[in-house]
């Protein structure tokens, strides 16, 4: 019997675990190590953050689902990996520290035959002074929608602002990225439109000055260097598309901004031109930058080999081309396919946990050498596809079908769909539906825009709204492993 | 007569240089019949995208 250990129970880890358990059956063991007791459909946190949904609408308990699937569930955080075992044993293992199951604080060594690292990110609030509390958590000046609890808090604070606006106090809303190296602009993009829509519903829109602040060098970069699609007879840039959406709603924007300090009611930021500016706010939702979760790695003799397994940013090295080179020399083929660690072939990394070879957008920095550019998005749909592909490879390796990975999930050969809502009603509000193929632009295959114009699209309307609703219910159904879950595509 | 869709735009503000949807575009966004057609098309696009992405 082989044991597959999966670190992380988010979109990537949960997908990998679910399929691996189904494909391996009872002949082998699948273990999930995650510090959380609940699974969270993160895209719907946006609706929680404006009070349209509750925490229970977007989360469910993992334990009964894993019990039903025959998956061993350990509510714990991974601390370190010993890929060569330890003195007296060649068996590789991970050291975990429980966060629940009545064992909080207890450590355990969990041996594995195969390991999938799907830990997701550490929300690195402390990278920006004042954005964090100095203890690794969100600070007191801003809110976030990165977790369901954060989103509940955001909705509460937003309501206070609306109440003040109703009393005639003009309010300043600031939404965007809280650091020059953030990713996940899509979440901020969607949140700002939901806040604006909610303000209209509450009758306070005229009392709000709403501003978007972002590390993108232009609106619509989305950490992917922007996209192009056919729209109204033109091949249009996402810059035109995004600017139009903000302008239509009377919202301001600040691009190319590295927020370097957050204080009560004020952020200080550096721009790509090197200027230091300030922006006041009464309510701010700023996405933190992501970092690896800080896993350590040790050789058999106990020496630290963290730099062998992980890149300096804490994300795990896989089969990518990490040779530093200028933007002009970047290629789609730099991106990993099998997501297998090059040193230890029984270790894989999926979702945010793998180290990208480089960013996707063109690197930018201020005259002060401060890097201000989005880091690559690899959440949601790509994460799930990676989880499934790697699970398939590992299952084939366990079953002896092959001694090498049999499936690939290369972001330069996969697309992504993104639906950003504005409101939640079925017949009020609208949403922007975007598809992009491939995620990583391939300028050799698709000269000019880097993407297939037949696979890349963008439009606004009620239809996208319905898709967003369907995705919410369908993916929660799938994640709960309810009947027919395997028929729902990633 | 001022167009209601652009009256909030200030000259030479960032919004001044952008594309603003007019009445017909806004009507289409919420026209249930048209959106039902778009719904089918979006789903087809996403299905094709998914099929192209799995290797």
Question: Is B13 inside any structural domain?
Answer: no
| Contact assessment for residue A213 and residue A257, using Cβ atoms and an 8 Å cutoff | yes
Q: What is the pLDDT of residue B45?
A: 92
Please count the other Cβ atoms lying within 10 Å of the Cβ belonging to residue A332: 19
Closest Cα to residue A432, out of A391, A462, A412, A456?
Answer: A462
Question: Is B23 inside any structural domain?
Answer: yes
* Nearest neighbour of A433 by CB, restricted to B9, B36, B42: B42
In angstroms and rounded to an integer, the radius of gyration of the C-alpha atoms of chain A is 22
| Contact assessment for residue A252 and residue A239, using Cβ atoms and an 8 Å cutoff | no
Chain B residue closest in CA terms to A218: B14
3 state DSSP class of A40: strand
CB contact under 8 A, A408 and B53: no
Q: What average pLDDT score do residues B20-39 get? A: 93
Strand locations in A251-292 (E): 252-254, 257-263, 266-271, 276-280, 283-287, 290-291
pLDDT tens per residue across span A101-160: 999 999 999 999 999 999 989 999 999 999 999 999 999 999 999 999 999 999 999 999
With an 8 Å Cβ cutoff, is B27 touching chain A?
no
Assign 3-state DSSP to chain B and report helix, strand, coil percentages, each to 5: 60, 0, 40
Indicate the length of chain A as a whole number.
Answer: 490
pLDDT tens per residue across span A385-407: 999 999 999 999 999 999 999 99
Q: Return mean pLDDT, chain A.
A: 95
Q: What is the pLDDT of residue A379?
A: 78
- Band (pLDDT 50/70/90 cuts) for residue A422 is confident
Closest Cα to residue A109, out of A96, A121, A122?
Answer: A96
Question: Is B5 inside any structural domain?
Answer: no
Q: What average pLDDT score do residues A230-243 get? A: 92
Q: What is the pLDDT of residue A184?
A: 84
Q: What is the pLDDT of residue A325?
A: 95
Question: Is B47 inside any structural domain?
Answer: yes
- Band (pLDDT 50/70/90 cuts) for residue B5 is confident
Find chain B residues with C-beta within 8 A of A455's C-beta.
45, 48-49, 52
**In angstroms, what CA-CA distances link B14 with A77, A148, A241, B11?**
46, 34, 14, 9
- Closest approach of B7 to chain A, Cα-based (Å): 10
Question: Is B49 inside any structural domain?
Answer: yes
In whole angstroms, give the CA distance from residue B15 to residue B5.
12
pLDDT tens per residue across span A167-183: 999 999 999 999 999 98
List the single best residue of A244, A461, A488 to mutate versus B (max B Cβ within 10 A): A461
pLDDT for A232 beyond 90: no
Most distant pair of Cα atoms in chain B: their distance: 56
The count of structural domains within chain B is 1
In whole angstroms, give the CA distance from residue A448 to residue A318.
29
* Nearest neighbour of B14 by CB, restricted to A253, A414, A416: A253
List A residues 250-269 in contact with B (Cβ-Cβ < 8 A): 250, 252-253
| Residue A439: half-sphere exposure toward Cβ, Cα within 13 Å | 28
- Closest approach of B55 to chain A, Cα-based (Å): 6
Domain that holds residue B43: 19-53
Question: Is B27 inside any structural domain?
Answer: yes
Could you give the dihedral angle defined by the CA atoms of residues B6, B9, B13 and B16, in that order, rounded to the nearest 10 degrees? 10
pLDDT tens per residue across span A337-357: 999 999 999 999 999 999 999
**In angstroms, what CA-CA distances link A192 with A37, A246, B14?**
29, 10, 18
3 state DSSP class of A211: strand
With an 8 Å Cβ cutoff, is A417 touching chain B?
yes
- Band (pLDDT 50/70/90 cuts) for residue B51 is confident
- Closest approach of B14 to chain A, Cα-based (Å): 8
- Closest approach of B2 to chain A, Cα-based (Å): 15
Chain B residue closest in CA terms to A248: B20
Question: Is B4 inside any structural domain?
Answer: no
In whole angstroms, give the CA distance from residue A316 to residue A349.
6
In whole angstroms, give the CA distance from residue A141 to residue B20.
34
| Contact assessment for residue A397 and residue A403, using Cβ atoms and an 8 Å cutoff | yes
Percent of chain A with pLDDT over 70: 100
Q: What average pLDDT score do residues B4-28 get? A: 88
pLDDT for B1 beyond 60: no
pLDDT for A74 beyond 70: yes
pLDDT for A451 beyond 60: yes
- Closest approach of A462 to chain B, Cα-based (Å): 6
Domains of chain A: 3-123+290-398 (3.50.50.60)
Q: What is the pLDDT of residue B2?
A: 58
With an 8 Å Cβ cutoff, is A413 touching chain B?
yes
Question: Is B45 inside any structural domain?
Answer: yes
Tell me the pairing of strands A228-231 and A234-237. antiparallel
């Amino acid at each position: 019997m082989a044991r597959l250990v999966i670190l992380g129970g988010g979109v990537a880890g949960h997908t990998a675990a679910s399929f691996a358990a189904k494909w391996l059956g009872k002949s082998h063991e699948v273990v999930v190590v995650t510090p959380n007791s609940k699974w969270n459909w993160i895209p719907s946190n946006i609706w929680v953050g404006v009070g349209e949904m509750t925490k229970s609408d977007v989360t469910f308990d993992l334990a009964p689902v894993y019990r039903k699937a025959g998956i061993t569930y350990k509510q714990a955080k991974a601390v370190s990996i010993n890929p060569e075992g330890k003195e007296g044993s060649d068996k590789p293992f991970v050291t975990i520290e429980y966060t629940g199951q009545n064992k909080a604080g207890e450590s355990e060594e969990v041996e594995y035959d195969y390991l999938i690292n799907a830990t997701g990110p550490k929300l690195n609030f402390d990278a920006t002074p004042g954005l964090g509390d100095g203890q690794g958590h969100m600070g007191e000046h801003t809110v976030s929608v990165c977790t369901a609890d954060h989103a509940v808090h955001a909705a509460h604070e937003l309501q206070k602002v609306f109440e003040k606006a109703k009393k005639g106090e003009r309010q300043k809303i600031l939404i965007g990225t809280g650091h020059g190296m953030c990713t996940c602009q899509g979440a901020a993009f969607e949140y700002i439109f939901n806040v604006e829509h909610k303000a209209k519903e509450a009758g306070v829109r005229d009392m709000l000055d709403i501003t978007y602040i972002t590390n993108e060098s232009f609106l619509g970069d989305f950490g992917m260097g922007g996209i192009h699609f056919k729209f109204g007879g033109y091949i249009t840039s996402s810059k035109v598309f995004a600017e139009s959406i903000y302008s239509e709603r009377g919202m301001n924007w600040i691009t190319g901004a590295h927020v370097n300090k957050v204080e009560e009611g004020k952020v200080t930021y550096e721009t790509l031109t090197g200027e230091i500016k300030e922006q006041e706010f009464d309510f701010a939702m700023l996405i933190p930058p992501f970092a690896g979760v800080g896993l350590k790695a040790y050789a058999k003799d106990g020496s630290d080999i963290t730099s062998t397994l992980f890149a300096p940013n804490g994300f795990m090295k896989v089969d990518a081309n990490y040779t530093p080179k200028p933007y002009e020399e970047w290629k789609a083929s730099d991106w990993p396919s099998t997501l297998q660690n090059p040193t230890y072939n029984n270790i894989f990394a999926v979702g945010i946990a793998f180290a990208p070879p480089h960013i996707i957008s063109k690197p930018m920095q201020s005259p002060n050498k401060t890097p201000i550019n989005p880091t690559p998005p690899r959440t949601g749909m790509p994460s799930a596809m990676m989880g499934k592909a790697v699970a398939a490879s590992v299952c084939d390796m366990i079953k002896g079908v092959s001694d090498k990975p049999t499936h690939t999930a290369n972001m330069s050969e996969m697309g992504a769909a993104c639906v950003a809502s504005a409101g939640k009603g079925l017949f009020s509000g609208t949403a922007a539906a975007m598809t992009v193929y491939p995620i990583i632009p391939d300028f050799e295959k698709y000269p000019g825009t880097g993407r297939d114009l037949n696979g890349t699209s963008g439009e606004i309307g009620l239809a996208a709204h319905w898709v967003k609703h369907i995705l919410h219910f369908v993916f929660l159904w799938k994640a709960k492993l309810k009947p027919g879950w395997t028929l729902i595509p990633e | 007569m001022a167009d209601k869709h652009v009256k909030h735009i200030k000259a030479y503000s960032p919004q001044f240089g952008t594309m603003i949807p007019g009445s017909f575009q806004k009507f289409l966004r919420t026209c249930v019949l048209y959106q039902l057609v778009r719904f089918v098309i979006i789903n087809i696009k996403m299905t094709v995208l998914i099929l192209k992405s799995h290797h």
